[in-house]
Chain A
Amino acid sequence: MLRSIIVAAGALLVVAATSFALLAATFGRMPAGDRMLAVAVRRLGRYSRATATIDADGRIERATCVDHWRRRTSIARVRLGDRDVVEVGDRLEHATRGEEAAFDLAGCPRPLRRWLDTGIAEHSRVEAKALVHPSGAHELVLPHADPGIELVLSRSDVPIELEVRDIGRSRVRYEAKA
């Protein structure tokens, strides 16, 4: 019986190794940048609040964002100074161009997830390049996203810096869901 079990275990090891090798050789691996982006998207799902220090056209502003649901509609509310910019579903309500830019840079978890996962899903349009940031964190560049975006991910794979092409940059900090 022992001999049978050893033969079976050996054969099953061959099955597992061959299956893995066949898949790896045929389909390869998701590019490193896309993989990191996927992890960041998953990590962002843990958060519902963000605070950001925004630098747009040399103007420094502080923004706080809260994501919540109203019935089945996703709402993201960004507080900029004494005014609110609100996104209902995927549409910003009554926002000026400057407010739109500030909203993008505020890094609200849910809208940012949507932006990034669209980048991965439509991977023919996105090149996610993973670079090593001087701080040791990772930097992802999505030059073909609309608009182009760069993010710096912390060691725990959460974005800590965003740079949106032709708009500005921000430092963000996320807070867990209440």
Chain B
Amino acid sequence: MTALSLRLPLLRVREGWALVAAAWIVSRVLTLAAFAVLRALGPLGYLGRRFYRTPLGLLSTWDGVWYRRIVDYGYVFVPGRQSDVAFFPGYPLVVKALTATGLGFSVVGPLASNVLLLVALVAFYELSCRMFDRDFAGRAAVFAALAPAGFVYSMSYPSSLLFACVALACLAALADAWGLAAVFAAFAGLTRPEAIVVVVPLAFLAWSRRERLGPRRFGCALAAAAAAPVAIASYPAYLKWAVGDGHAWSTAEVAWGRSFRLDGPWLALRKLPHALAEHPGYAGDLMLLAAYAVLLVAARRAGTSWPWIAGGLLVLVVPLFSGTIESEGRFGLVALPVYWGLAASTRSPRAGGAARLVSGALLVAGVLTLPFIWP
């Protein structure tokens, strides 16, 4: 027994997992079929010939190019240019470990993402079961699998890993396995800054159970709540040692047009008309951001407690402080209450079916527009 008191919450295989697995299969078949169509069409837009040389090449485009560099060479910082230090290390850590099997990045990257999505969906279903009834939890998990921006779950992107770590951290916390919650929250923090989604719910859970936990375990619970931000902060500390600049991450983000500042949301709003004219793809991010916000309200009305809503809101609002709405659709994927809001809004079979159909169509459209719009 360590000071962190690592305890595995007992999970029994449930019938509901079959529904989750089916949703995973359907959503991945849709996504991968759309990628196959894209491949059959040949080089288009920003995606040049090099991505068509290997069968799975298209699954490692956009950010995947940078993650591959990190896996191959480690971090290299070039001031004033786009650099791989802009990409958090959690996902390349996992992929690098898996490449030890002898498989290349173009296979391991997408494979890890797809498998981790299944883990994430099961964990999310279990988490939802602890707050709502099973039918509700099943619907929420299906929507999570079919999320319009969820095509990145099949690419060499860290989204699946982040989703899995976030859901597992929350699940472990609900089961009072605080050591495990700290481990998953910390790994989520190493994977993406959106890991802050877990801070408020975990802190609330820890505080509400402080009497029952006793001083030592309450300390573990507090550590679990703060583990994600601490892990996030350890990345700049590593960069200071590795590339000689603790601000390398934020400096590199500038090359992508992101710069964190207090008036960031106002700036994002002011730049919006120009940004939409220059990159029409931002319209998708804008619409998804609006949809996420509406669904957070729906989740609150369905009885989701405010710490979960606050966590989801943080995920949506914090990136806006970088002065752009770019990629909000993808960042919002881990705003878990969004799926509860959607499940609550589609209780009737007809509404549920229509929502699943629209989500699936948008998922496919997201893949087919990849040569022109980065996720």
Contacts and interface: CB of A to CB of B under 8 A. Distances in A.
Interface in B313-341: none
Interface string B94-114: 001100000000000000000
Contacts of A35: 243-244
A26 B94 CA distance: 10
Contact of A27 (B220, B242, B244): B242
Given A4-B216, A11-B182, A20-B238, A38 B73 contact: no
B131 interface: no
B242 A11 contact: no
A27 B75 CA distance: 7
Interface of B: 3-4, 70, 73-81, 83, 89, 92-93, 96-97, 182, 186, 189-190, 210, 215-216, 218-220, 222-223, 226-227, 230-231, 233-235, 237-238, 241-245
A19 interface: yes
A3 B74 CA distance: 40
A6 B80 contact: no
A28 B239 CA distance: 10
Contacts of A11: 3-4, 182, 219-220, 223, 227
A120 B84 CA distance: 12
Contact of B76 (A18, A22, A121): A121
Nearest to A23: B238
B188 to A, nearest CB: 12
Contacts of B76: 30, 34, 120-121, 123
Contacts of A8: 219-220, 222-223, 226
Contacts of A7: 3, 215-216, 218-220, 222-223
Contact of B79 (A12, A14, A16, A117): A117
B207 to A, nearest CB: 11
Q: Contact residue range for chain A?
A: 35 or more
B237 A16 contact: yes
Given A6-B219, A11-B4, A45 B235 contact: no
A23 B223 contact: no
A117 B81 contact: yes
A120 B85 CA distance: 13
Given A38-B245, A123-B73, A16 B234 contact: yes
A16 B226 CA distance: 11
Contacts of A18: 186
Question: Considering residues A27, A34, A39, A45, which has the most beta carbons from chain B within 10 angstroms of its beta carbon?
Answer: A27
Nearest to A22: B93
Contacts of B74: 27-30
Nearest to A121: B78
6 contacts: A3-B215, A8-B222, A12-B230, A19-B231, A27-B74, A41-B79
Interface of A: 1, 3-8, 10-12, 14-16, 18-20, 22-24, 26-30, 34-35, 38-39, 41-42, 45, 113, 117, 120-121, 123-124
B79 A1 contact: no
Contacts of B238: 19-20, 23-24
Given A10-B3, A11-B220, A23-B89, A38 B244 contact: yes
A35 B235 CA distance: 17
A15 B242 contact: no
Contacts of B218: 4, 7
A42 B247 CA distance: 12
A5 B92 CA distance: 33
Contact of B243 (A5, A26, A30): A30
A124 B89 CA distance: 21
B182 to A, nearest CB: 6
A18 B89 CA distance: 13
A157 to B, nearest CB: 10
Contacts of A6: 219
A20 B231 CA distance: 9
B80 to A, nearest CB: 6
State the 6 A-B residue pairs at the shortest beta-carbon distance, nearest first: A7-B219, A11-B223, A19-B234, A8-B222, A4-B219, A42-B79
A12 B245 contact: no
Contacts of B81: 117, 121
B184 to A, nearest CB: 11
A110 to B, nearest CB: 10
**Which of A3, A4, A34, A113 has the most B CB atoms < 10 Å from its CB?**
A4
A4 B235 CA distance: 26
A129 B216 CA distance: 51
Contacts of B234: 15-16, 19-20, 23
A39 B77 CA distance: 10
B242 A16 contact: no
Nearest to B243: A30
A30 B78 contact: no
Contacts of A34: 76
B71 to A, nearest CB: 9
B233 to A, nearest CB: 7
A5 B79 contact: no
A38 B78 contact: yes
